[in-house]
Amino acid sequence: MTNLSSSETPSRLARFMDSDVLHSFLRSPSAMIAAFITLVFILAALFAPLIAPYNPFDPAQISLWDGKLPPSFAGGDDRYFLGTDNQGRDMLSTILYGGRLSIIVGLAAVFLGMLMGVTLGIISGYLGGTFDAVIMRIADVQLTIPGILLAILINGIGRAFLPVDVRDEFAIYVVIIAIGLSDWPQFARITRGATLVEANKEYVASARVIGLPSWLIMVRHLLPNVLRPVLVLATLGLATAIISEATLSFLGQGIPPTTPSLGTLIRVGNEFLFSGLWWITLFPAIALVILVFSVNLFGDWLRDALNPKLR
């Protein structure tokens, strides 16, 4: 069975190797660089415990005596390439672990928003009626409020509901939910639009004719066909989510300083900027900007590549 089908239609890999998308990728240096940098960041995030010279979360490895050391190339200690923060944590390790948190939070938040938006969008687009009207009205209203403001507000409310002693512990979940809730309408809209187009095609009509239940048509037939634009939105949304997380953390409303994300590091460093300790802010900020920039660049390319109309 598998043999038969693979001899008739090329395998997924072969199709991918021959696709327009890969072709356009290989011809776009900026996309390749962006993808490479993004990949490096994700690998660094995955393997942070292996790469990082120190474990910044292990109090046994931190000495306050080593605090506030400048980078080794700027007259600091040879042990700490990018210097240390105010608590004596190695900046390089802290950035690796922080980047890991930023990426995890970003991915989780985008996934949450995507899950919500795609589900509601497909149901809205396929079933229509009152459900569609209500959901899209809510999405419209929410879209008029900038996502970051909504994330700040939801996050603030979420924090307020948590008792003080567990606030830091659960902060990361509150942040994920706040950002996820703030960006579902975009996913819902784009999914609904794609669903409306797909629902009029013959394969959906045939599926309906042979008596498949609505949910099966939505999951099995519509979902795979509306994922293209969603994928683009998710990539661009990842960059926004990472910025949102960094912003919340910078405002002191996000990831606590005990397990800092990039935004938290920038916040902590900002307090020492006036005393000339520039490296505590600068390096996490550079890491954040490069990460966001390359994810954005990759997303832009993906949007153009998956949408032949723009080419």
Partner 1 sequence: MFAFIARRLAQSILVMAVVSAVAFSLFNFVGDPVNNMVGQDATRERRAEIRLQLGLDDPIPVQYVRFVSNMLQGDFGISYRIKQPVDKLILERLPATLELVFVSAIISLIVGIVAGVYTGIHRNSWISRSILSSSLIGVSLPTFIIGIALIYIFAVHLRWLPSSGRAGTIDFGWWKTSLLSLEGWRSILLPAITLSLFQLTMILRLVRAEMMEVMQTDFIKFARARGLSERAINYGHALRNTLVPVITIIGLNIGGLIAFSVITETVFQWPGTGLMFIQAVDFVDVPIMSAYLVFVAILFVIINLVVDLLYAAVDPRIRIGNA
Sites of contact with partner 1 (CB under 8 A): 137, 141, 144-146, 148-149, 152-153, 156-157, 159-161, 164, 239, 243, 246-247, 250-253, 266, 270, 273-274, 278, 281, 285, 288-289, 292-293, 296
Quote the least distance from Cβ 240 to partner 1, whole Å: 10
Q: Which is nearer to partner 1, 146 or 213 (CB)?
A: 146
Long-range contacts, stretch 40-49, CB < 8 angstroms, 24+ apart: 41/99, 41/103, 41/290, 41/291, 41/294, 42/103, 44/96, 44/99, 44/100, 45/96, 45/99, 45/100, 45/103, 45/104, 46/100, 48/93, 48/96, 48/97, 48/99, 48/100
CA distance 80 to 97: 15
Tokens of 71: 């980078």
Q: Which is nearer to partner 1, 44 or 285 (CB)?
A: 285
Q: Which is nearer to partner 1, 121 or 284 (CB)?
A: 284
Tokens of 68: 């506030």
Quote the least distance from Cβ 221 to partner 1, whole Å: 32
Quote the least distance from Cβ 225 to partner 1, whole Å: 30
Q: Which is nearer to partner 1, 56 or 269 (CB)?
A: 269
Other Cβ atoms within 10 Å of 166 Cβ, number: 9
Quote the least distance from Cβ 270 to partner 1, whole Å: 6
- Contact (Cβ atoms closer than 8 angstroms) between residue 126 and residue 217: yes
Closest residue by Cα to residue 134 from 120, 122, 150: 120
Give Cα 171 distance to the centre of its chain.
17
Q: Which is nearer to partner 1, 34 or 226 (CB)?
A: 34
Quote the least distance from Cβ 236 to partner 1, whole Å: 11
The one-letter code for the residue type at 275 is: S
Quote the least distance from Cβ 166 to partner 1, whole Å: 13
Q: Which is nearer to partner 1, 52 or 243 (CB)?
A: 243
